[in-house]
C-alpha cells in the first residue's frame, strides 16, 4: 500500500526526501530546478530512470519565474531565419496547452503595423502565415490581417497617427513559475526526487568520470554526497559556473542578457488585449493585461553582474516607460506609476560579434570528458523537447539500448488530476462561480488558473479557515514551500501581480507559517525582511 504521507510534497516529508537522496544511488542527478531541469527530471523518471533533482534556491528561482510568461513560437526568430526553432516551439504550444489547459491559456496577440517603423503589411501577412504553417496552427486560429479601423477598434488606446493596420495571431500565456512547480510535482509523482534549497558545491569522480556531487542543504545546514551514474547540469545562467567546477569550460560559453518587465496598475494602462509592438529601434515589446495589472517588457541587454540578484535598473525602466508613452495615447507614465517589476537572465550561447538581441535562442548541449552533460539556451516553451533530447543522450551514452522507455511526456498531464480541455476549465470555473461566496467570488478565476482542480478543495477549506489560510495550507501541504517568499513570489505571483494583497497578507502568512513550520521570532523577522527587500527591489530602481 502506498504511504499517503510519503507521497506528500511538503516540508513535513522533506527530511525523508533528504535521507533518500543520501542513501540511494541514482541513474540521473539533475542540477537546477528551473523549467529545463524540471522537464528533464519528469522525462527521465517517467521513462524509468531513478532520478533526483537539486535546486540551490526555490524551484523556479532563476529565469523560470522572470520570463514574459508566454508559451509562444517566437515570431521574431523568423526574422533571424530560425525556422527549425519556430517550428519546434510553435508546435509545442498546443502540446503544453493540452497538458495543462488551466495554466497555458490561449491568448490572441495584436500586432499593430506602422507607417514608418517595422515591417510592411505584405511581409507581415506572409511572415505570420509562415509562422502559423510552421507551427501547424488550426485554420480557425490562424492570423487575420486588420485594417487601420479594425486595429484601432481592437485596441483603442493605440496612438492612431502612425498606424496603417495590424494583425491578430494566436499565442498562449502562462505563469512560468507555476508551470515549473507543476512539472516538478508531476516528476515527483512519476518517481523523481526533487529537493529545493540544496546546492551542488563540488563534483565527485571515479577514474576521471563523474560519479556524484557534494550537496549543501541550506535548510538543515548540512553537506552530504549524492551518488549518481550520470549528472545533467541544467543550471540556466549558472551553467558555466558548474562547467568550471568540473574544469570543463572550454569552447562555447554562455552569454547572459538581462530582460526586464514592469507592472502598471490596469487603470493606468487599460489595454483591452495583449499587444506586441514595434518600438522603432529594432526591438519589439509586449504589453499584456492580466487581472488588475498590465505588464510590459522586455529589454535585452548584456549582463555581467551578480546572477543571484538581478533587478531592473533606472535605464531599463525608463526605456520601457518611453516605449509605452510613445505607443499608447494618454499614457504619460512615470516611475511613480510602476507597481512592481522583475528581471531575468537569458542563458544564451555566445557568438562572436553578435549583439544581445541577435544571439540565437536555440538550446545547446555540451558534454565534458568527465561525462557531465550541460544544457543551456532554449525557451520555456520548448522545455519538453529539450528534455527529450537530453534524456535520449543520457540513455544512449550510459545505459543498455531498450533498458528504458521512449519519451512519452506528450501524454502525461502536468497536474493531478488534470483537465481534458480548455472547455472543461471554463465549465469548472462557471461551476465554482455559482457556489462562491462574496469573499471568494473575486478569486475564483485566479484560483482555477493557479491551482486547477485543486481550487475546489481550497474553497472547501476556505469556509472554515478563510481563503488566505486555505491557500497557504494547500501550498504548505502540496508545493514544498519553505519560506514566505516561496509563497508570495513563485507559487502565487503576488509580489508581481498584486502588491496590495502582499501588503495586507504578509503578517497573517508569517504568523501561520511560524505555527506550521515551528519558526522562532528571529526566523519570522528574517523572512519579513527578506520579503521587504524583494518588494523594495522590485519597485525601486537601482
Residue among 32 and 452 whose Cβ is closer to ligand FAD: 32
Q: Please, what is the minimum distance in Å from the beta carbon of residue 406 to ligand FAD? A: 23
What is the distance between the alpha carbons of residues 359 and 349, in angstroms, rounded to a whole number?
Answer: 7
Q: Could you give the C-alpha distances from 92 to 42, 102, 392, 535, in angstroms and in order?
A: 17, 16, 18, 34
Binds ligand FAD (CB under 6 A): choice among 344, 371, 452, 493: 344
Cell numbers placing 198: 540544496
Assign residue 320 a region (left: φ > 0; alpha: ψ between -120 and 50; beta: otherwise). alpha
Nearer residue to ligand FAD within complex by CB, 102 or 490:
490
Nearest partner of 480 among 15, 65, 11, judged by Cα: 11
Q: Residue 334: which of 262, 278, 274 has the closest Cα?
A: 262
- Compute the half-sphere exposure of residue 118: CA atoms within 13 Å on the CB side of its CA: 26
The reply on whether position 68 binds ligand FAD by CB under 6 A is yes
Region binding ligand FAD by CB under 6 A among candidate stretches 246-254, 273-281, 379-387, 427-435 = 379-387
349 binds ligand FAD (CB under 6 A): no
Q: How far is the CB of 135 from ligand FAD (least distance, A)?
A: 13
Peptide bond into 417 cis (omega under 30): yes
**Does 311 interact with ligand FAD (rule: CB under 6 A)?**
no
Residue identified by cell 496577440 is 109
From the list 183-191, 271-279, 344-352, 432-440, the region that binds ligand FAD by CB under 6 A is 344-352
Pairwise CA distance, residues 336 & 331, whole Å = 13
By the rule CB under 6 A, 57 interacts with ligand FAD: yes
Is position 151 an interface residue for ligand FAD (rule: CB under 6 A)? no
3-state secondary structure string, 184-210? HHHHHHCCCEEECCEEEEEEEEECCEE
Binding mask 71-100 for ligand FAD (x = CB under 6 A): -x----------------------------
Question: Minimum Å distance from CB 180 to ligand FAD?
Answer: 7
CA angle, residues 413, 89, 538, in degrees to nearest 5: 85
DSSP SS3 for 538 = helix
Verify binding: residue 341, ligand FAD, rule CB under 6 A.
no
Q: 18, 31, 152, 432: which one contacts ligand FAD (CB under 6 A)?
A: 31
Q: Does residue number 263 form part of the binding site for ligand FAD (CB under 6 A)?
A: no
414/452 Cα distance (integer angstroms): 10
Among 236, 371, 418, 493, binds ligand FAD (CB under 6 A): 236
Query: Angle CA(20)–CA(406)–CA(19) in degrees, nearest 5?
Result: 5
* 62 contacts ligand FAD (rule: CB under 6 A): yes
Confirm or reject binding of residue 380 to ligand FAD (CB under 6 A).
Answer: yes
The reply to whether 36 sits near ligand FAD by the rule CB under 6 A is yes
CB of 441 to ligand FAD, least distance (A): 30
3-state secondary structure 427-491: HHHHHHHHHCCCCCHHHHHHHHHHHCCHHHHHHHHHHHHCHHHHHHHHHHHHCCCCCHHHHHHHH
Q: Give backbone dihedrals phi and psi of 115, rounded to 5 degrees, phi first.
A: -65, -45
Q: How far, in Å, are 37, 215, 240, 369 from residue 248 at the CA level?
A: 20, 20, 9, 8
User: In what helix (H) or strand (E) does residue 258 lie, and over which residues does it extend?
Assistant: strand 254-265
Identify the residue among 237, 418, 452, 539 touching ligand FAD (CB under 6 A).
237
- Residue among 41, 70, 109, 432 that touches ligand FAD (CB under 6 A): 70
Q: Between 319 and 519, whose beta carbon lies closer to ligand FAD?
A: 319
Q: Which stretches does DSSP call E strand in 130-197?
A: 144-146, 163-173, 193-195
- Considering only the stretches 18-26, 75-83, 268-276, 339-347, report the one whose residues sit in contact with ligand FAD under the rule CB under 6 A: 339-347
Residue in 56, 185, 243, 255 binding ligand FAD, rule: CB under 6 A: 56
Closer residue to ligand FAD, CB minimum distance, 114 or 276: 276
The residue assigned the cell 489560510 is: 469
Binding status of residue 199 toward ligand FAD by CB under 6 A: yes
Please state the closest distance from residue 257 (CB atom) to ligand FAD, in A: 7
CB of 327 vs ligand FAD, minimal distance in Å = 19
Closer CB to ligand FAD, 239 or 506, in the complex: 239
Q: Which is nearer to ligand FAD, 54 or 414 (CB)?
A: 54
Q: Does 469 bind ligand FAD (CB under 6 A)?
A: no
Least Cβ distance, residue 348 to ligand FAD (angstroms): 9
42 contributes a contact to ligand FAD by CB under 6 A: no
In what helix (H) or strand (E) does residue 26 lie, and over which residues does it extend? strand 25-31
490 contributes a contact to ligand FAD by CB under 6 A: no
Cα-Cα-Cα-Cα torsion 484, 487, 492, 496, nearest 10 degrees, comes to: 40
* Helix (H) / strand (E) containing 228: strand 222-233
According to the binding rule CB under 6 A, does residue 200 interact with ligand FAD? yes
State the minimum distance, in angstroms, from the CB of residue 49 to ligand FAD: 19
Q: Which residues bind ligand FAD (CB under 6 A)?
A: 31-37, 54-57, 61-64, 67-70, 72, 199-200, 234-238, 242, 259, 298, 344-347, 378-381
Amino acid at each position: 500500500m502506498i504511504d499517503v504521507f510519503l507521497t506528500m510534497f511538503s516540508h513535513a516529508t522533506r527530511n525523508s526526501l533528504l535521507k533518500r537522496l543520501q542513501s540511494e544511488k541514482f541513474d540521473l542527478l539533475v542540477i537546477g530546478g528551473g523549467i529545463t531541469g524540471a522537464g528533464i527530471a519528469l522525462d527521465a523518471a517517467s521513462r524509468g530512470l531513478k532520478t533526483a533533482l537539486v535546486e540551490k534556491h526555490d524551484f523556479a528561482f532563476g529565469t523560470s519565474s522572470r520570463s514574459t510568461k508566454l508559451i509562444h513560437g517566437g515570431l521574431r526568430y523568423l526574422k533571424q531565419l530560425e525556422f527549425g526553432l519556430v517550428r519546434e516551439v510553435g508546435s509545442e504550444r498546443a502540446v503544453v496547452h493540452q497538458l495543462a489547459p488551466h495554466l497555458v491559456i490561449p491568448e490572441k496577440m495584436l500586432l499593430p503595423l506602422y507607417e514608418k517603423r517595422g515591417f510592411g503589411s505584405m511581409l507581415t501577412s506572409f511572415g505570420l502565415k509562415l509562422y502559423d504553417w510552421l507551427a501547424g496552427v488550426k485554420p480557425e486560429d490562424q492570423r487575420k490581417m486588420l485594417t487601420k479601423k479594425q486595429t484601432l477598434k481592437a485596441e483603442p488606446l493605440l496612438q492612431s497617427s502612425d498606424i496603417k493596420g495590424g494583425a491578430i495571431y494566436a499565442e498562449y500565456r502562462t505563469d512560468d513559475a507555476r508551470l515549473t512547480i507543476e512539472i516538478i510535482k508531476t516528476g515527483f509523482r512519476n518517481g523523481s526526487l526533487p529537493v529545493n534549497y540544496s546546492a551542488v558545491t563540488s563534483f565527485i569522480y571515479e577514474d576521471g568520470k563523474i560519479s556524484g556531487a557534494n550537496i549543501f542543504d541550506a535548510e538543515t545546514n548540512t553537506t552530504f554526497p549524492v551518488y549518481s551514474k550520470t549528472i545533467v547540469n541544467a543550471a540556466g545562467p549558472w551553467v558555466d559556473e558548474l562547467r568550471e567546477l568540473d574544469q570543463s569550460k572550454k569552447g562555447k560559453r554562455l552569454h547572459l542578457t538581462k530582460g526586464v518587465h514592469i507592472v502598471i496598475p490596469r487603470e493606468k494602462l487599460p489595454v483591452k488585449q495583449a499587444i506586441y509592438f514595434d518600438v522603432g529601434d529594432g526591438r519589439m515589446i509586449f504589453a499584456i493585461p492580466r487581472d488588475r495589472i498590465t505588464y510590459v517588457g522586455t529589454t535585452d541587454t548584456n549582463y555581467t553582474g551578480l546572477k543571484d540578484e538581478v533587478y531592473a535598473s533606472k535605464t531599463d525602466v525608463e526605456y520601457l516607460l518611453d516605449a509605452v508613452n510613445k505607443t499608447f495615447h494618454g499614457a504619460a507614465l512615470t516611475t511613480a506609476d510602476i507597481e512592481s517589476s522583475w528581471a531575468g537572465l537569458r542563458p544564451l550561447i555566445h557568438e562572436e560579434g553578435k549583439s544581445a538581441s541577435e544571439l540565437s535562442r536555440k538550446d545547446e548541449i555540451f558534454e565534458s570528458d568527465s561525462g557531465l552533460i550541460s544544457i543551456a539556451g532554449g525557451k520555456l516553451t520548448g522545455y519538453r523537447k529539450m528534455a527529450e533530447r537530453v534524456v535520449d543522450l543520457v540513455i544512449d551514452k550510459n545505459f543498455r539500448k531498450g533498458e528504458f522507455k521512449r519519451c512519452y511526456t506528450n501524454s502525461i498531464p502536468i497536474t493531478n488530476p488534470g483537465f481534458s480541455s480548455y472547455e472543461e476549465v471554463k465549465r469548472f470555473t462557471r461551476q465554482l462561480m455559482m457556489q462562491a461566496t462574496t469573499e471568494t467570488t473575486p478569486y475564483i478565476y485566479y484560483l482555477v488558473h493557479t491551482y486547477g482542480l485543486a481550487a475546489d478543495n481550497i474553497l472547501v477549506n476556505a469556509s472554515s479557515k478563510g481563503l488566505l489560510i486555505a491557500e497557504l495550507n494547500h501550498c504548505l501541504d502540496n508545493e514544498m514551500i519553505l519560506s514566505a517568499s516561496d509563497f508570495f513570489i513563485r507559487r502565487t505571483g503576488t509580489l508581481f501581480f498584486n502588491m496590495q494583497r502582499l501588503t495586507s497578507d504578509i503578517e497573517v502568512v508569517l504568523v501561520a507559517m511560524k505555527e506550521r513550520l515551528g519558526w522562532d521570532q528571529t526566523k519570522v523577522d528574517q523572512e519579513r525582511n527578506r520579503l521587504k527587500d524583494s518588494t523594495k527591489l522590485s519597485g525601486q530602481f537601482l
